[in-house]
Amino acid sequence: MTAGAGKIRPLVAGNWKMNGLKAGLHEALTVRDALTAPLANIAADVMIAPPATLLLAMADACHPGPLSFAGQDCHVNASGAHTGDISAEMLKESGATAVIVGHSERRADHGETDRIVQSKAAAARRAGLTAIICLGETIGERNAGLALSVVARQLKNSVPDGATAADTVIAYEPVWAIGTGLTPSPADVAEVHGLIRRDLITRFGAEGAAMRLLYGGSVKPDNARVLLTVDNVNGALVGGASLKASDFLAIVRAYES
């Protein structure tokens, strides 16, 4: 296991966002096959969050195997008159073991508040899914010296009471780094992840100490090993680089032992 992961088993999760048709299922199959190859020795869990239209097909195609799957969002309710929405229970039935909530694109495009994100994380727990709760500041907030206070506020208000290491993962994704090719320095990542860890321990004790903290935001094969060895970084939430198996596996292999 690489430095920075400690005793916490890392997680590398690929967020396909609104990309992917059935013709692209071979990318997931390639990842699965690489993880199950006789010489594979990856000391990390690996997950893909495809669009909802592919979740069931991908989970079925890759079963059995070490690759797991997540939804990209869920509704707070288990069912009801919510046209176009998908419940956590529906994701679970389709093969998901986790769901991303509070991604900055959901916060920006759909006006999701910390309170909504907290409700979605609670819904994930209700359905037996792990909630991957996203946090992160904008470039304006960072330039104004507000990065730590913004992340601390999002963390406090987005994580539901009673969260555990088994049902909660925190992903720090500076908004200004997502899809831009820009990344914060390792020192900046360590500072934010250190704050998150301290606040989690203060609130949740041993459970907070054991929660996985992912870094996301322009994670690529050429910077993964540096970012994933930062203190309190226990894996990555990967965007565009997860769409191609070769790129995604190059990131995953940062945890090859």
CATH number of the domain to which 176 belongs: 3.20.20.70
| Catalytic-role residue among 27, 75, 89, 103 | 103
Closest by CA position to 198, among listed 231, 167, 229, 173: 231
- Domain for residue 3, yes or no? no
4 found inside a domain? no
Active-site annotation holder among 89, 137, 141, 173: 173
Report if residue 2 sits inside a domain: no
Domain annotation covers residue 223: yes
Residue 193 designated active-site: no
| Structural domain boundaries, residue 88 | 11-255
Q: What is the pLDDT of residues 2-57, one digit of tens each?
A: 334 448 999 999 999 999 999 999 999 999 999 998 878 999 999 999 999 999 99
CA distances from 79 to 75, 91, 102, 126, 148 (A): 9, 12, 20, 13, 36
- For residue 171, give the nearest of 207, 211, 215 by alpha carbon: 215
Vertex 214 angle, CA 39 and 59, to 5°: 55
Catalytic residue check, 82? no
Answer whether residue 40 is part of any domain. yes
CB 131 within 8 A of CB 167: yes
Q: Tell me if 5 is assigned to some domain.
A: no
Q: Do 141 and 150 form a contact (C-beta atoms < 8 A)?
A: yes
Residue by residue, pLDDT tens for the chain (257 residues) are: 333 444 899 999 999 999 999 999 999 999 999 999 887 899 999 999 999 999 999 999 999 999 999 999 999 999 999 999 999 999 999 999 999 999 999 999 999 999 999 999 999 999 999 999 999 999 999 999 999 999 999 999 999 999 999 999 999 999 999 988 888 999 999 999 999 999 999 999 999 999 999 999 999 999 999 999 999 999 999 999 999 999 999 999 999 98
Domain annotation covers residue 76:
yes
119 domain-assigned: yes
Number of domains in the chain: 1
What is the reported pTM? 0.96
